[in-house]
Amino acid sequence: MKIDILTLFPEMFTPIQTSILGRAIKNNLLDINLINFRDFSKDKSKHVDDTPYGGGAGMVISAEPVYDAYMCIKERENAKVIYMSPKGKTLTQDMVKDLSKEEHLIVICGHYEGIDERLIEEIVDEEISIGDYVLTGGELPCMVMVDSVARNLEGVINGESVSDETFSNDLLEYPQYTRPEIFNGRTVPEVLISGNHAKINEWRKEKSIEITKVRRPDLYEKYINKEENN
């Protein structure tokens, strides 16, 4: 998958070129291309923002430098253009799964008070939000989206870990333990060292249901409704 990211702060993006995603890039499963649209400013002091029409606080990013950066991307015709925005649809695992089927994403990150609405009308296919809180820019949301999409790409992580976890069955995960067997006097649940895999699976399912019911009644409700239909 090719991902072009249009941002004023390309240096923020080290986290998604590290660890598992770093390996995916090395293995040519993922290609992240950072474009600083300040490079497309026609202003001699490289300005990309201006005061808002109608007045009010803050600065608005002009349509032109972002548009010119977008026009410079080769083979953009079949790409899906995403604007990270608090006005977007909140990212879910179902959306992540659909996005991971795309061949090419172009992601625009806003800053200050956002981007001129006409740029969004002109080139954006989908506005996506990661949740309801105020941020200084769309860069962190973009990284969240790219991380979740990339780990669903073929070969990035082993298949079992992709399908086994939370949200694939609408339940939160059971608790995990590793060595030592006793930590500060706390033991590992007996069943996990029993070697009885049927019993272990049963215990894990039970724990998943228990924690989901307590912590995420919304997910639990969804799970129960699905079970009733099976």
Positions touching ligand 4G1 (CB under 6 A) are 84-86, 110-111, 114, 129-135, 137-138, 141
Q: Minimum CB separation from ligand 4G1 for residue 19, in Å?
A: 22
Whichever of 111 and 204 has its CB closer to ligand 4G1, that residue is 111
Whichever of 10 and 110 has its CB closer to ligand 4G1, that residue is 110
Q: Minimum CB separation from ligand 4G1 for residue 147, in Å?
A: 14
Beta bridge partners of residue 106, listed in sequence order = 4, 81
Whichever of 150 and 172 has its CB closer to ligand 4G1, that residue is 150
Whichever of 107 and 150 has its CB closer to ligand 4G1, that residue is 107
Whichever of 140 and 157 has its CB closer to ligand 4G1, that residue is 140
CA distance linking residue 122 with residue 82, whole number of Å:
12
Whichever of 35 and 82 has its CB closer to ligand 4G1, that residue is 82
Give the residue closest to ligand 4G1 by C-beta: 141
165 to 43, 50, 144: CA distances (angstroms): 49, 45, 18
Q: Minimum CB separation from ligand 4G1 for residue 52, in Å?
A: 12
CA distance linking residue 137 with residue 38, whole number of Å:
15
Q: Minimum CB separation from ligand 4G1 for residue 23, in Å?
A: 26
CB half-sphere exposure, 188, CA atoms < 13 A: 12
